[in-house]
Amino acid sequence: MKKLVLAIVFVSFASAMLVSAQVMAASSKPAAPANLSAQYAEWAGSKANADSLVNGLRNGESITLVTVSENNKRTLAGFTAQTRMSPEEVAAALRESKRTLASLGIRKPSADQIQVALIGGELTLPNGSTKLISGPVSLRFEPEVIGTVAPAPVQTATVTPVGSPSALR
């Protein structure tokens, strides 16, 4: 009888551990790009912007953002991530950028504010002042090479986003 009780306890314990492991594995899976895009569509200003952010960061491709403010002013911004990012890195970069802007009172950012939050630069705050911030994403600058077949080396550069106050001076 003792052996039967011990066997039942062991099987119950093993089953509980198996179920717990499966639940933990399922909850730690990275967010699918479509889910991540949907999660940030409102913050990014549109589904197209969120798709561009997620896919561009994920694949190291160009990212183009277009937002329309309440007074129908359009803002355009673009950049290219230095390297491909994992789904976890993309999620972390977007989460950190959203949190940075929210901490500065920006809950519905323009395209250039999203760009600065991701790559760093001079950010215009709601009160009109500016603040220099660093972003979680690095940039890639590929100089044009003329008269050679060898690929140009990848170089990094500090970029001031288009439309920022320093670009207008």
CA angle 160, 163, 165 (to 5 degrees): 75
Q: Which residues pair with 65 in a beta bridge?
A: 77
Residue 125 has pLDDT above 80, yes or no: yes
Q: What is the largest CA-CA distance in the chain?
A: 87
- pLDDT digit string (tens) for 75-94? 999 998 888 999 999 999 99
The two structure tokens encoding residue 125: 């705050």
Q: Residue 148 has what pLDDT?
A: 41
136: DSSP letter: S
The two structure tokens encoding residue 63: 């990212």
- pLDDT digit string (tens) for 32-77? 667 999 999 999 999 999 999 999 999 999 999 999 988 899 999 9
Averaged over 111-120, what is the pLDDT?
94
160: DSSP letter: P
pTM given for the model: 0.64
* CA gap 99, 101 in Å, rounded: 6
Three-class secondary structure of residue 37 per DSSP:
helix
Higher pLDDT, 29 or 31: 31
Domain ranges for the chain: 33-168
